[in-house]
Amino acid sequence: MDTTPFACTGPFQVFDAARTAQLLGYPALLQTLTQAAGEYEAGSILSPERAAMPLGQGGVLLSMPATAADLGVHKLVCVQPGNARLGLPTIHGLVTACDARTGRPLFALDGPEVTGRRTAAITLLALRALAAGPPQDIALIGTGTQARHHVQALACLHPQARIRVRGRSPASAQAFCDSLGAVHDRIVPLHGPIPDSVDVVITVTTSTEPVYDDKPRAGRLVIGVGAFRPEMAEIGPATLAGSTLFCDDPQGARHEAGDLLRAGIAWDRLRSLASLLRDGPGTPAPFVFKSVGTGAWDLAAARVAASELQSRAHKHPLGE
Dist. CA 164–CA 141, nearest whole Å: 8
Phi then psi dihedrals of residue 96, to 5 deg: -100, 140
Contact present, 198 and 138 (Cβ < 8 Å): yes
9 pLDDT above the threshold of 70: no
Residues 320 and 317: their CA atoms lie apart, in Å, by 7
Mean pLDDT rounded to a whole number for the chain: 93
Whether the predicted pLDDT of 213 surpasses 70: yes
Q: Report pLDDT digits (tens) over 274-312.
A: 999 999 998 888 999 999 999 999 999 999 999 999 988
The average pLDDT across 15-23 equals 97
Query: 42 near 65, Cβ under 8 Å?
Result: no
- What pLDDT is attached to residue 50? 87
Looking at residue 5, what is its pLDDT?
Answer: 52
| Window from 75-79, 87-91, 112-116, 316-320 with minimum mean pLDDT | 316-320
Q: What whole-number distance in Å separates Cα of residue 219 and Cα of residue 224?
A: 17
- Using CB atoms within 10 Å of the CB of residue 301, give its burial: 0 to 12 exposed, 13 to 18 middle, 19+ buried: buried
Beta-bridge mates of residue 287: 244
Answer whether residue 8 shows pLDDT above 60.
no
The pLDDT tens digits of the residues spanning 99-158 come to 999 999 999 999 999 999 999 999 999 999 999 899 999 999 999 999 999 999 999 999
> What pairs with residue 1 in β-bridges?
none
Q: Residue 320: its pLDDT value, please?
A: 47
Concatenated DSSP letters of 187-203: EEE--SSPPTT--EEEE
The two beta strands, 137-141 and 162-166, are parallel
pTM > 0.85: yes or no: yes
